[in-house]
Amino acid sequence: MDNIPLKIEQSLQELEQGTLYIVSTPIGNLKDISFRALHVLRNVDFIAAEDTRVTANLLNHFGIKKKIISNYSKVESSRMKMITDELLNGKSVALTSDAGTPCISDPGSVLVSECVKLGINIRAIPGASSLIHSLVISGYNNKRFFFQGFLPIKGRENVYYYLRDLKMPIIIFESKFRIKKTLNEIYEYLPGRFVTVSRELTKMFEENIQGKIKDLVKNINAIKEKGEFVIIIDNQ
């Protein structure tokens, strides 16, 4: 294994047959990849990826050549039997998303649930998570928190009514297309709260903005509509 210190390389165990490996990948900074993740990606029989192009770019960067099949949301149900059949036949498979830990607001939970039902061995390879990264730098009390993920397109008002009664930090994922709309909604339904908005986490131009929601909305045009966003509402 290139660039892996000898002592670490020797400590990496052989992969288990018939095992699904849920592999966390970097959310922006490629240096966040773990030795163990690279070891698994090099040695599995094939990779089930949210986007084959994104995973191929990651593999190419580290000089890894491996068969990749697509497993994005619209096909994961139809691909499930093929993947589980391979696992039941003793193959080892890595599950990856475009960035971060699979199954967290990304495809993969359908496959993992089926593997649990079938008694297939599952291993999680820890790594980057925008959820945890944004929470720990917010400074909010994180003894407990609520992960909302992406808000629904419809029925958002009812979700906000539910969220505002939770006495803990609330974590929301949002895209560049709806970030301003969502911040305005937070101001409407949860006024007075402190909010942190994180963008481009772990990248060169990482940006974290924090303040009262009214002030963030007042200066909303200063928020760059680029990349993926994590919003944390201090609802304590």
Q: Which ranges of 44-178 does DSSP label H, i.e. alpha helix?
A: 52-61, 76-88, 109-118, 130-138, 156-163
Higher pLDDT pick, 1 / 52: 52
Identify whether 1 is part of a domain.
no
Total Cβ atoms within 10 A of residue 72: 16
Region for residue 63 given its phi and psi (left: phi exceeds 0; alpha: psi -120 to 50; beta: otherwise): left
Contact 40, 62 (CB under 8 A): no
Using N-to-C axis directions, what is the helix angle for 109-118 and 76-88, rounded to 10°? 40
For 188, the 3-state DSSP assignment is helix
Number of domains in the chain: 2
| CATH value at residue 59 | 3.40.1010.10
Among 142, 145, 149, 108, smallest CA distance to 125 is for: 108
Q: What is the pLDDT of residues 70-114, one digit of tens each?
A: 998 888 889 999 999 999 999 999 999 999 999 998 889 999 999
User: What would you measure as the largest C-alpha separation in the chain, in angstroms?
Assistant: 58
Among 173, 223, 167, 174, smallest CA distance to 190 is for: 167
The pLDDT of residue 8 is: 55
Domain stops at, among 91, 109, 125: 125
Total Cβ atoms within 10 A of residue 183: 21
Domain stops at, among 85, 102, 125: 125
What sign does the CA torsion over 72, 126, 137, 236 have? positive
147 and 205 fall within a common domain: yes
Mean pLDDT of the residues in the chain: 93
Domain that holds residue 208: 130-234
The pLDDT of residue 14 is: 87
Taking the chain, what is the end-to-end CA distance rounded to the nearest angstrom? 48
In terms of DSSP bridges, do strands 170-174 and 229-234 run parallel, antiparallel, or are they unpaired?
Answer: antiparallel
Q: If pLDDT is split at 50, 70 and 90, which confidence band does 1 have?
A: very low
The pLDDT of residue 23 is: 97
Domain stops at, among 125, 155, 185: 125
97 and 118 fall within a common domain: yes
Tell whether pTM > 0.75.
Answer: yes
Q: Tokens at residue 157, please?
A: 């008002």
| CATH value at residue 194 | 3.30.950.10
For 9, the 3-state DSSP assignment is helix
